[in-house]
Amino acid sequence: MTDQEKQKPPAMEVNAPDEVHDEHPSEQHDRFRETTDKIWGSTKHAWSTATFKANQYKKLVQKKIDLAALHKKIGAAHADLGKLIDDLREEGKKNIMNLAEVREILTRLDELKTEAAALEEEIEQIRTEGLPHNEEIPEQKNA
């Protein structure tokens, strides 16, 4: 670009008359309403998606907290079982596995492990859960 071209003000372009002004007021209103409906539909979809994801995350975090608490209980039960078996062995007890105290702790461990497995399944289900099917993307409705 030369210095003369840089100093020239940009040429004024003559715009074609707006087509919107040539339309009847009812056509303008219909076009405005259609645009508004599309924007509102997109906004509702975005809001729905955001709230769904936030709720999904909240559920996931709560299940992970519950699972961590269960794992602590399992660890404590293992420690109790180990201590009990060691104490019984030192006392010279035979058939330690047939004693009621040992069976009680093993039963509690089995229950805790079953509960932990169920929580892990719920966590995986929450992770793979998608948006409800009745939530369509606005562009797909108008297609």
The residue range of the domain holding 77 is 68-127
Q: Which of 51, 59, 74 is nearest to 122 (CA)?
A: 59
Amino acid 125: pLDDT: 93
Q: Which residues contact 93 (CB under 8 A, 6 or more apart)?
A: 99
What is the number of structural domains in the chain? 1
Q: Can you give the pTM of this predicted structure?
A: 0.62
Report yes or no on 108 lying in a domain.
Answer: yes
Cα separation, 117 vs 94, whole angstroms: 33
**For residue 29, pLDDT beyond 90:** no
Structure tokens given for 80:
């109790």
pLDDT in tens, 76-109: 999 999 999 999 999 998 888 899 999 999 999 9
Average pLDDT of span 43-69 = 94
Report yes or no on 93 lying in a domain.
Answer: yes
The CA–CA distances, whole Å, from 110 to 82, 104, 141 equal: 15, 10, 51
Report yes or no on 79 lying in a domain.
Answer: yes
